[in-house]
Amino acid sequence: ATGLEASCAFDEIGPERAATPLTHALAPQAVLGVFERIAQRAPPPAFVLGLRAAHFGLGEAPSAAAREALAEGWRLAGELLA
């Protein structure tokens, strides 16, 4: 994720109504909104784990900061799943 101050963030999300997408890409909140419209009920609790990133280059190795954020994300995920 871009714009994160910490190396990772873990946030609960809820459904959002998205404009009709022009591609197959939907934000996680929009996916929950689709679930809500189809199932006619609230979606289950959902969370997003974001890792700080600044630059993505096709074929480039992750930067040291990206590797650090990934390690922190794995640590957090391990704590949450323990």
Nearest partner of 36 among 53, 16, 56, 51, judged by Cα: 16
In the predicted structure, residue 54 carries a pLDDT above the cut 80: no
pLDDT score at 65:
85
pLDDT above 70 coverage of the chain, percent: 93
Residue 78 backbone phi and psi in degrees, to 5: -60, -40
Q: pLDDT by residue (tens digit) across 16-41?
A: 886 666 667 788 999 999 899 999 99
**Count of CB atoms within 10 A of residue 27's CB?**
13
Q: Is the pLDDT of residue 58 over 70?
A: yes
Q: Which pLDDT band holds residue 56 (cuts at 50, 70, 90)? A: confident
* Per-residue model confidence as pLDDT tens digits over 40-51: 999 999 999 998
* 50 touches 11 (CB < 8 A): yes
Considering only CA atoms, give the Rg of the chain.
Answer: 16
